[in-house]
Structure 1
């Protein structure tokens, strides 16, 4: 089943580069999903996670303003949120305890995002 044929999902987007964030937001909306964010700072992400947070999935840039996303990724994983890392370094930049989560290399396409969502989430 293609991602655009599935029910709409709420997807947290954490990306600090505005053009990449806007592109990912457009990709997800074109696929019929609802975007939470894009969240561009770890401080803003912390505020969201400290509230009544719910999402069907999260797409996380690995490096946010020079800081790693990994402590927040662990919090999201503990909440049961499926994670997809977006990284210019590929899977080699992911911490060992989080390496089982999928990674999409930057730059990515709509088809790559749709395919990753299809493999990580039930239809």
Structure 2
């Protein structure tokens, strides 16, 4: 197990195969994915509802930026990371949030989550 063991995660990812891979990686790190949201509307609802300790947000959800979700999480003080298959420009105005580029490795994911937790929400 890792220092992330037991961490409850909201996973926001619109690509099913990437979401399944991320769920497997997070499980290997000892995390529990409490919900996987594939659309912006689902992600916003989940962010408002809470019930998790950290989140992993794909920046681009079928052409919609996940920034409204990031805003909700930041206001709630919930740590999160961004993932993207593009460049980091989509993360603005949250440039201080750890970013992992796709395809990501488990070590990169673990380091980004640990940094987000260390920094707090």
User: Over aligned residues, Cα RMSD in angstroms?
Assistant: 1.6
Give the Å deviation of 1:102: 0.8
Q: Residues of 1 paired with 2:43 and 2:3: CA distance?
A: 29
Q: 2:21 aligns with which of 14, 20, 23?
A: 23
Give the Å deviation of 1:71: 1.2
1:66 is matched with 63
Structure 1 length-normalised TM: 0.87
Structure 2 length-normalised TM: 0.88
- Is 1:84 aligned with 2:81? yes
- Is 1:47 aligned with 2:45? yes
Give the Å deviation of 1:6: 4.2
Give the 3 Å change call, closer, same or farther, for CA 33–16 of structure 1 in structure 2. same
Give the 3 Å change call, closer, same or farther, for CA 46–120 of structure 1 in structure 2. closer
2:96 is matched with 100
Structure 1: stretches of 5+ with no match in the other structure: none
Q: 1:117 aligns with which of 92, 104, 113?
A: 113
Which has the greater radius of gyration?
A: 1
Give the 3 Å change call, closer, same or farther, for CA 31–7 of structure 1 in structure 2. closer
Q: Residues of 2 paired with 1:90 and 1:36: CA distance?
A: 28
Structure 2: stretches of 5+ with no match in the other structure: none
Which aligned segments of 4 or more residues in structure 1 are displaced greater than 6 angstroms?
none
